[in-house]
Amino acid sequence: MRYQLSLFPFQDIETVPEVETLRPGGIRERLSALLAGDLDFRGAETGYASHRFHSFAAKFPPQLPRLFIQNLTEVGDTVLDPMAGSGTTVVEAALLGRRGVGVDLDPLAVQIGRAKTTGVLWEDLSRAARRTLIRAHQWLQADRSGKLREFRSRLNDATRDFLDYWFLPSTQEELAALMAAIREEPHPGLRRLMLLAFSSTIVTKSGGVSLARDLAHSRPHRDPEKRPASALDLFRERIQRYRQPLLAERISPGDALILHGDARSLPLGDQSVHLIVTSPPYANAIDYMRAHKFSLVWMGRPIDELGQWRSRYIGAERTQEDEAILPSRTWETVQAIAEYDPRRARVLQRYFTDMRRAIQEMYRVLRPGAAAVIVVGPSMMRGVPVETHLCLAEIAESEGFDLVGIGERRLDRDRRMMPVSAHSQSRSSIELRMHNEYVIGLVKPEER
């Protein structure tokens, strides 16, 4: 089904910190000026509105999409992120009175995006969370293992083994009772936000209720000496984090649309979008599912099913041959990797093939004369630099886009979670490839 995106209802909402705006000139001129400006946003406050509700690897600062949305669209326009991740672009579009649309394959990313764009009142969420905690406490007091036995009865052996390896029995009892209590909440928006708080007790930068260390940053490892906090206490603390954002900013129903879908086959109508701002995965893919599965299993996803989902992602570690023809620079990059590691070269070829399909879809849904902004970082494979930004720019031009320019931004690594690649041999390889990013500015030509 393709959505034609009828008008969404909007209301006046208090705006968040402004970024510089440049209104004179056409789209190309404005886009060129923005790409030449400061794109670092070092020291900027990134935790306003719902942006800090849940940890998510490698998300860009909200000021980055805000800059392009303010300058390249008008109120009521449709802004798309076809690889939406945690929904940063969609939240910013909605806060600015645009129609924010996000698409992502990752089931937890979709849940995060929908929760962050759920317009509920803090008072309602506070009451719902209080009811939920009381209910969970009562179940634990009456029969501490009852909800856990009920929950585990629906799991396969592999999923039960996963839980037993990564979660203490006492933590499992609390999480099972808490999840059952959240499921009792009848209001979908409140239930969605409480599920987000539940997930954020597990997938977090540090601490968390599992036995995993470095869960959100890199390949997790089990620490049998770790003593996790109470899941109920941590849930209560996470809910309190939502208080100020929900009091200050409220996105109304209809301001944002988060779809579970694939950037390579967007469920949107032709020429229905006024601007695209997106950040695709790195060429040597960040394994989002590696962390997300810790939360998704508690939401009823079998662990083996989650492994199958991973194989569908853009940049996933798949090695099937693909006959798609790539432009010259991109193909030369693949061949340079093949001299050292043919398997990794096939993975890189698959990544660029996937991204070509995604760019084809971006071109299809974008209106003539409108812009697409792609934020991506370089990579290092087997010691060979992969200038992903130049390759994607070349692919985009081969698909009909006009390249306006490529801006560069320095990463604030202390504030942006940059997890380790599954194939990284040392921290030094990460440092080599994750100090900066590039912002590709494209325009779909006007119809002649």
H/E stretch holding 275 reads: strand 273-278
Question: What is the number of residues in the chain?
Answer: 448
Give residue limits of the domains in the chain.
27-118+263-287+317-443, 122-247
**Strand locations in 122-198 (E):** none
pLDDT band (50, 70, 90) for residue 218: low
Token couple for 353: 């093939």
pLDDT on residue 13? 36
Q: Which residues contact 287 (CB under 8 A, 6 or more apart)?
A: 310, 419, 421, 422
Beta bridge partners of 275: 79, 371
pLDDT tens for each residue of 90-133 = 999 999 999 999 999 999 999 999 998 888 889 999 999 999 99
DSSP annotation of 61 reads P
pLDDT tens for each residue of 323-362 = 568 999 999 999 999 999 998 898 899 999 999 999 999 9
Most confident residue range from 66-70, 83-87, 220-224: 66-70
Class of the CATH domain delimited by 27-118+263-287+317-443: alpha beta
Distances in Å between the Cα of 96 and the Cα atoms of 49, 66, 67, 106, 400 are: 12, 8, 11, 26, 30
Closest CA to 367 of 23, 84, 72: 72
For the cut 90, the answer to whether the pLDDT of residue 252 exceeds it is no
Full-model pTM: 0.88
Beta bridge partners of 265: 262
C-alpha to C-alpha distance for 296 and 291, rounded to whole angstroms: 9
pLDDT band (50, 70, 90) for residue 217: low
For the cut 70, the answer to whether the pLDDT of residue 424 exceeds it is no
Beta bridge partners of 103: 259
pLDDT tens for each residue of 158-194 = 999 999 999 999 999 999 999 999 999 999 999 999 9
Pairwise pLDDT comparison (293 vs 3), residue with the higher score: 293
C-alpha to C-alpha distance for 420 and 214, rounded to whole angstroms: 10
Q: Tell me how far apart the terminal alpha carbons of the chain are, to the nearest angstrom.
A: 29
pLDDT tens for each residue of 289-334 = 888 899 999 999 999 888 777 677 776 655 455 556 899 999 999 9
